[in-house]
Amino acid sequence: MSNLQKNIIITSVGHFLVHAMTMILPVILVILEEEFSVSIIYLGGLVTTQILFLGLGGFPAGILADRFGSRIVLMIYFIGLIISSVWLYFSTTFIMAAIGLGFLGLVAGLYHPAGLKLVSNSPNVARYMSYHGISGSLGLAAGPFYGSWMSNLFDWRTAYLLLGCVAFLGLIFLIFNHQESGQRSNKFKLKFSFNNAQIIIIAVGALWGVAHHGLFNFLPLYFKESIDTGWDATVVSGFLLGFVLILGIIGQLFGGRLGEYFERKNLYSWAVGLNIPFLIIITFLNGWTLVGIAGILGAVNFMFQPINNSLLADVTNKDQRGTVYGFSAGISFSIGSFAGIIGGYMGDILSINYIFPMMSLFLIPAVFLALILQKKL
């Protein structure tokens, strides 16, 4: 097995687990609301906690990946997933769950800088970015399916514990099979100078992150209110979110292919702007029409990721990509975490469906920044 194949396996498993474990939360919000007797704004606080710590974990991870290599960061990541899954399994109060989700977010945040650094050193970077994105999208899609199914079959705590076992298998594979190649920084540098293109791409990613997290974390609650099938609400909302995220896989692949054949800078503003009308339209829909349009939005939304990550690789030296991806993921998740508080407040004061047009407002300046980048490159 070649080193490239080993990297693909490791990054695929790692990326899958990040999103599978963090996407259990949206579908169990329905359960946590009843189990802990809390309002939507408290549920939004859980969302913010997990996403915020996802962002915070990215900052040191990028620097460490450049200095020591991705392998050591990924080892810490897998160990952290195992610990957080055990903690959540024994959580019996809202505070314990919040602490566990925060720690899960923190260690999950270690993955993206280290994983993206490995992928960015591959040939045909746009294609491998799309493959990498697909593994994450599979996790995003599987998380809601799996979380709702396990919660109905056993409970939400068991869902986390079993994925912790998968993380243990990933750790074993990493220890015995991975030998890293590629460039590392010779010195540990905390001072780092970003160029203008990197700053714009990171800013666009942060604004997109707010809309992205607001959409996918509150969509299950919106499905619960808008669609009545007569079946268990947690299972239905989880499966419908999973369907939307499966279409996101198609968007990932399509975005990666577009990034190979067309100039990525010219695709960038379109990859952001196409989300806006769909975020507004779903506000006025219900039933199966809502599911269909939400599915299209899922595909459109995920087109952005391979184009964004490939563009960032284009404007960054190889030995600095871990640091830059770390700051990009850190800022995107940290800023994106406010979607939880904003969405929770909007859901409590007005209605859940008002969350989505609010998220679209963050994409308007992102489109203008993408157009500025197009002229600069």
pLDDT at 248: 87
The alpha carbon dihedral of 370, 358, 331, 318 has a sign of negative
Q: What is the CA radius of gyration of the chain?
A: 19
Structural domains in the chain?
A: 3-176+195-376 (1.20.1250.20)
CA dihedral 196, 332, 351, 233 (to 10 degrees): 150
CA 295 from chain centre, in angstroms, equals: 17
Tell me the two tokens of residue 170: 């990933």
The DSSP secondary structure of 295-352, one letter per residue, reads HHHHHHHHHHHHHHHHHHHHTS-GGGHHHHHHHHHHHHHHHHTHHHHHHHHHHHHT-G
- Poorest-confidence range of 74-78, 84-88, 129-133? 129-133
Q: What's the pTM value of the predicted model, to 2 decimals?
A: 0.79
Please write the tens of the pLDDT for every residue from 26-71: 889 888 988 998 888 888 889 889 989 988 888 888 888 888 888 8
8 A C-beta contact, residue 355 and residue 346: yes
User: Residue 310: is its pLDDT beyond 60?
Assistant: yes
Q: How confident is the model at residue 132 (pLDDT cuts 50, 70, 90)?
A: confident
| Angstrom distances, CA of residue 136 to CA of 245, 262, 263 | 10, 24, 24
3-state SS of 214-231 is HHHHHHHHHHHHHCCCCC
